[in-house]
Amino acid sequence: MRKQLLAASIIALATSAAFAHEPGELILRAGGAHVAPNDDSSRISTTVTGAIGGTKATVNSNTQLGLTATYIVAPHLGIEVLAATPFTHTVKVKGLPDVPGLAPYSIANGKFADVKHLPPTVSAQYFFLDPQSNFQPYVGLGLNYTWFFDEHLTKYQKSLGFRNLSLSNSWGWAAQVGADVSIGNNLFLNAAVWRMSIDTKARATHNDIPGLPGTGLGRVKVDVDIDPWVYFVGVGYKF
């Protein structure tokens, strides 16, 4: 009898109307968002050398405050907007040859710059279970726009003649899986994972290294596929 009462209580909790994802409701979530690049890049190329074999650029991970808002437009269907505080990433380069007169130092290997980006994303979401369920797993598919800004070369790279770093903005797809779990009074816990398509072209100019005439490389560029995984854990409130 006790087991039957416990099972009945669990079923009643899972179907409570207090957590219904019904049309017209707005769901706000806030928490930690971690961007983990799954990066790949072309070879670095310059006006003087062309593409340089064995070279590449990499981007590190970063965690910021993530914010999402989902409007339920129909049973099982919502539209979500993802926002965040600006992510800051360190860009590194590898494989560039040593410069005569500066050995054993390479012209740019190691930390190259810090850049910031914002990845606003709009997705259509599908919720699998009954709208009354206290557990709401979902999937989403949408469009991402990534805005790169505040690019700063390191002092060392500037001392080697690099200037005018810029990264092109990016349009791409975004896919996600996630779940809401009720903790009562319209509050819930949320966990979600996105995979995003983010591609950018980094450009800079390289002048002669001070004291070494004729070492300037002209325009420097590299294509970088960042394509990150984005992990989110937070809390939410339903209006």
Contact indicator for 166, 156 with CB cutoff of 8 Å: no
In three-state secondary structure terms, 170 is: strand
| Structure-block tokens of residue 148 | 């790169």
Distance between CA atoms of residues 38 and 227, nearest Å: 5
Distance between CA atoms of residues 113 and 20, nearest Å: 47
Each residue's pLDDT tens digit, 64-111: 999 999 999 999 999 999 999 999 999 998 887 666 555 444 566 788
Distance between CA atoms of residues 206 and 200, nearest Å: 20
Each residue's pLDDT tens digit, 195-236: 999 999 999 998 887 777 877 888 999 999 999 999 999 999
Each residue's pLDDT tens digit, 100-148: 555 444 566 788 999 999 999 999 999 999 888 899 999 999 999 999 9
Q: Where are the domains of the chain?
A: 2-238
List all residues 6 or more positions away from 237 whose beta carbon is below 8 Å from its beta carbon: 27, 28, 186, 187, 188
List all residues 6 or more positions away from 19 whose beta carbon is below 8 Å from its beta carbon: 132, 133, 134, 136, 180, 182, 186, 188, 238
- pTM of the entire predicted model: 0.84
- Top-confidence residue, 40 or 7: 40
2-238 domain in CATH 3.90.420.10?
Answer: no
Flag the least confident range among 22-31, 33-42, 93-102, 155-164. Answer: 93-102
